[in-house]
Chains A and B, each alone.
Chain A
Amino acid sequence: MPKDSGIGASSKRREDVRFLTGAGNYTDDINARGQAYVHFLRSDIAHGRIKNVDTSAAEGMPGVVRIFTGKDFEGVGGIPCGWEVTDRHGAPMQEPAHPILAQGKVRHVGDPIAAVVADSLEQARDAAEAIDLDIEELPAVLDMKAAAQDGATLVHDDLKNNICYDWHLGEADNDKVDEVFANAAHVTTLDLVNNRLVANPMEPRVAVAEYNRGTEEYTLYTTSQNPHVIRLLMCAFVLGLPEHKVRVVAPDVGGGFGTKIFHYAEEAFCTFAAKACNRPIKWTASRSEAFMSDAQGRDHVSTIELALDADNNFVGLRTNTYANLGAYLSTFSSSVPTWLHGTLMAGNYKTPVIQVNVKAMFTNTVPVDAYRGAGRPEATFQIERVIDKAARELGVDPIALRRQNFITEFPYDTPVALTYDTGNYHGTMDKLEAAADLAGFAARRAESEAKGKLRGLGVNCYIEACGIAPSNIVGMLGARAGLYDAATVRVNATGSISVMVGAHSHGQGHETAFPQVVADMIGIDESMVEIVHGDTSKIPFGMGTYGSRSLAVCGSAMVKATEKVIEKAKRIAAHLLEASEADIELKDGQFSIAGTDKSVAWGDVTLTAYVPHNYPLEVEPGLEETAFYDPANFTFPAGAYACEVEVDPETGKVSIEKFTAADDFGNIVNPMIVDGQVHGGIGQGIGQALLENCAYDENGQLLSASYMDYAMPRADDVPFYAVDHSSQTPCTHNPLGVKGCGEAGAIGSPPAVVNAVLDALNSGGKAVDHIDMPVSPSRVWTAMNG
């Protein structure tokens, strides 16, 4: 029986009511009295030397408050990178300056050159057009392999080359790896591209900043997944402001998907300019601006090799990847191709020897950083595509080949630095085979063929490292932050509870799911618990929401704080019941003496805590507890996905006919929300696989600069998805046994789609062994006729 409340119940989302009635409060809905508007004049070329920015004609134009250029930010800090990666020789990565407004050079289309503050946005735009730019265009650095060559044009003149770092993980001894491959019975090699994507949360980025001269306090409203991180980075590294004088609020945020983790120049600018202009400053990105200023995702070019012995056991895996970082280092960009990608190259398989090599490149493109999955989709795509190719080459069943090589004993130390605490990969594959009715595929293929269509089945597995992350481990790996989280459980006198959490909800449903946990622990109605998030002045601290961490990390802090609350409440209850604290039990909101019918209600205890007339003298009044939680390990959600496609052989058009996901997320708090997270991830994964492509031309101009050319998945591009998460191996090291579910769909789905397309083409007699994503009709047709 499904539960109707508490942990495990599909409680309806309370936040929906405001969103469904137009009563949400997104950043662009916020207007400060007397606010001015900023328009950023952005580079329309990819690479150039700034010779002069003449603002004189623009200064006096109607409504202009002030015009800022890079010169105004000399002596001000730049946008920092939060993760220092050490290269294969032990040297720190090359870390170029990232000014708020361009200084010396422009390095990508969209690089901000000047900021015009005016009474209205249109006046700011008018004045920006009157700024006279003298920029010497330079050759654009775009191709990563060419950029790595000696003598290549430099994106950053003060760096020795365009390579941010040349990094390595796993087996360091090249000879040993060579030997494994030389002795292998079979080697499968695959060159592939993980296409660059634009995250495209439906809400564009917005910032509204105010400065109060009386209190010397700043308030920044911004579209962020992690307001405390923004405050820390902006105060400590960019503007040099005292943290206690800066309040950062991320109100309702319309989706993030990673791209709203990062600290951006625009929000620092608004904060800076609010004081400089003595007016609130508002910036709202247009979608066109988002395409050239939001950090983008993926963009890896890889060669992967898989070695198998005569029995088809995986014996070695070697991968060489060029990872595009764009023109500057965005906040967590450096960690994505390394610690979020290389560490996942074992996948679900017990491959004994793995070597990962990554060259991270600067190019004249928009910065690249984490996008839903962040490194893990790139790893999964490589592994699962090369296995599929190997199965085809060997003429073996791709599922059997995977099963044969599954890791089955836990904990398992991979050759690439992780310890998987638990999992059951056969279990999820069993669920998948049943849920996807793989037995019925042949009949469905015959039906498709009768219609003149090719039908293909693609299956793959995935594993991800979530619950990011143990601070001591990431600290050793170069993170410049801890990745714990925090929660305060504030019980009010009447028994209702406010929980201040460091996680930020921008679609994940924390306002519903988190109360389910607290209410379940105490045995009260969920409606008595309210979540407060997104405001540095209201919550203790928080590292925010990304890496499928909210429940696993912040939720654990919330559990710890709730346990402290319960412990104290029991002491009060024991006093009221004149019993020993050890004999007090809490069930269904009643404290009772074990084995008796004497009890006192939750509300009586909480009232006593605040009206302590009859009260234990050794206990402080009040009932509020804070806990910080630093995870002991990553969590490891894993699963198996199946996709069935039809291909129109005349046009190359692919349609997704059936998509099935079997995930192991450990324990689940709200199954409805978990399903929704998986659906959304699959939608994005299908988008990557079939539709989305952020492309630049040879001059570094963005070709997919709007929704006219960047193909977002629409309702009729996708089917209903079948989602199963009944195979559960609870996480062994957090109190809820949860693993995280936010990114799985986006990680697990692209290879299933591509594998399915290739299966379809091969079933039609076309010996095609790879097509790069997006697998567009044009590319499919070209592959079939090439």
Chain B
Amino acid sequence: MTQVSMTVNGKPVSGDVEGRTLLSSFLRDHLSLTGTHVGCDTAQCGACVVHVDGEAVKSCNMLALEADGSEVGTIEGQANSDGSLNTIQQAFQDHHGLQCGFCTPGMVMSAAALLKENPRPTEAEVRKYLEGNLCRCTGYHNIVKAIMAASGQNVSSIAAE
């Protein structure tokens, strides 16, 4: 066992982990931050996306010890300080960008990373950016729409709400 320390959602945390402990396991099992989900074992589905030092990564595809000393952001830390939904989260609710909710944490975290680097993405840019996030429920329509809305764009002309 090795001690790992990091800042998660602004709070310093540490724990004893094995070399093989994944960041997703550390978050879920050690810190009980179960909002980060694991949907595959080949780093494709993106349900586990978190931010490490400001960048989106697949936490099921990164060892916890690799994040030692890092700033980690998860879905649990996304809401506003008063507990209300942040702009992206609110857009997902407003535009029905989620159904079963399992892919949602990864979608929100990827969307946040996208809008940080590209504040007003086109539809094509949103779709392209989400290529590492699978959703089985929504057909992506309302996810793309929600992200564009969260970027401040008028989405009222997009077919059917």
Contact = CB atoms under 8 A, between A and B. Distances in A.
Q: Do A and B touch each other in the complex, judged by CB within 8 A? A: yes
Given A13-B96, A714-B134, A720-B145, 5 more contacts: A12-B94, A24-B102, A202-B37, A715-B143, A724-B160
Given A203-B100, A255-B136, A286-B41, A714 B131 contact: yes
B96 A684 contact: no
Interface string B17-37: 000100000001000011111
Contacts of B131: 714-716
A619 B34 CA distance: 48
B130 A716 contact: yes
Contact of B99 (A17, A23, A255): A255
B142 A254 contact: no
A324 interface: no
B102 A26 contact: yes
Interface stretch (A426-434, A628-636, A643-651, A667-675): A667-675
A708 B44 contact: yes
Nearest to A30: B34
B159 A722 contact: yes
Contacts of B93: 12-13, 16-17, 20
B133 interface: yes
Interface stretch (A46-54, A502-510, A532-540): A502-510
A715 B130 CA distance: 6
16 contacts: A16-B92, A17-B85, A19-B101, A20-B108, A22-B76, A24-B34, A202-B100, A254-B100, A507-B137, A508-B99, A675-B161, A676-B99, A676-B138, A715-B126, A715-B135, A716-B128
B85 A20 contact: yes
B137 A680 contact: yes
A652 interface: no
Pick the most buried of A254, A718, A724: most chain B CB atoms within 10 A of its CB.
Answer: A254
Contact of B100 (A18, A253, A286, A718): A253
A683 B139 contact: yes
Interface string A438-480: 0000000000000000000000000000000000000000000
Contact of A506 (B100, B123, B159): B100
A290 to B, nearest CB: 9
Interface in A658-689: 671-673, 675-676, 679-684, 686
A287 B137 contact: no
B139 A745 contact: yes
A599 B127 CA distance: 55
Given A19-B98, A22-B36, A714-B130, A708 B75 contact: no
Contacts of B139: 679-684, 686, 713, 718, 721, 745
B55 to A, nearest CB: 19
B100 A683 contact: no
Contacts of A410: none
A10 interface: yes
A618 interface: no
Contact of A21 (B75, B128, B136): B75
A202 B105 contact: no
A541 B103 CA distance: 30
Contacts of B74: 22
Contacts of B59: none
B72 interface: no
Given A22-B75, A203-B37, A673 B98 contact: no
Interface of B: 20, 28, 33-42, 44-45, 47, 74-76, 78-79, 85, 89, 92-94, 96, 98-105, 108, 123-124, 126-128, 130-131, 133-145, 158-161
A676 B141 CA distance: 8
Nearest to A21: B79
Contacts of B138: 676, 679-680, 683
A15 B127 contact: no
A669 to B, nearest CB: 14
Contact of A288 (B38, B41, B135, B158): B41
Nearest to A24: B101
Contacts of A745: 139
A348 interface: no
B149 to A, nearest CB: 13
B91 to A, nearest CB: 10
Interface residues of A, number: 61
Nearest to A23: B35
B101 to A, nearest CB: 3
B136 to A, nearest CB: 5
A722 B160 CA distance: 6
B100 A715 contact: no
A203 B89 contact: no
A206 to B, nearest CB: 10
Interface in A534-579: none
A715 B105 contact: no
A629 B134 CA distance: 37
Contacts of B99: 255, 507-509, 676, 680
Contacts of A507: 99-101, 137
Contacts of B123: 720
A707 B94 contact: no
Given A20-B98, A706-B40, A715-B133, A720 B144 contact: yes
A21 B74 CA distance: 9
Nearest to A749: B139
Nearest to B91: A20
Contacts of B102: 24, 26, 201-203, 254-255
Interface string A280-322: 0000001110000000000000000000000000000000000
A707 B85 contact: no
A200 interface: yes
A508 B131 CA distance: 24
Contact of A287 (B36, B40, B85, B143): B40
Contacts of A255: 99-100, 102, 136-137
A715 B93 CA distance: 19
Contacts of B78: 20-22
Given A22-B75, A204-B39, A254 B44 contact: no
A682 B141 CA distance: 10
A736 interface: no
Interface string A322-338: 00000000000000000
A269 interface: no
Contacts of A216: none
Nearest to B158: A720
A287 B140 contact: no
B45 A287 contact: yes
In the A-B complex, the 9 residue pairs with the smallest Cβ-Cβ separation, listed nearest first, are: A22-B35, A683-B139, A254-B102, A19-B101, A507-B100, A507-B99, A22-B75, A679-B139, A707-B44
A181 interface: no
A760 B95 CA distance: 34
Given A508-B99, A721-B141, A254 B159 contact: no
Give the one of B94, B127, B139, B141 with max A CB within 10 A: B139
A20 B39 contact: no
Given A20-B92, A257-B136, A680-B136, A706 B42 contact: yes
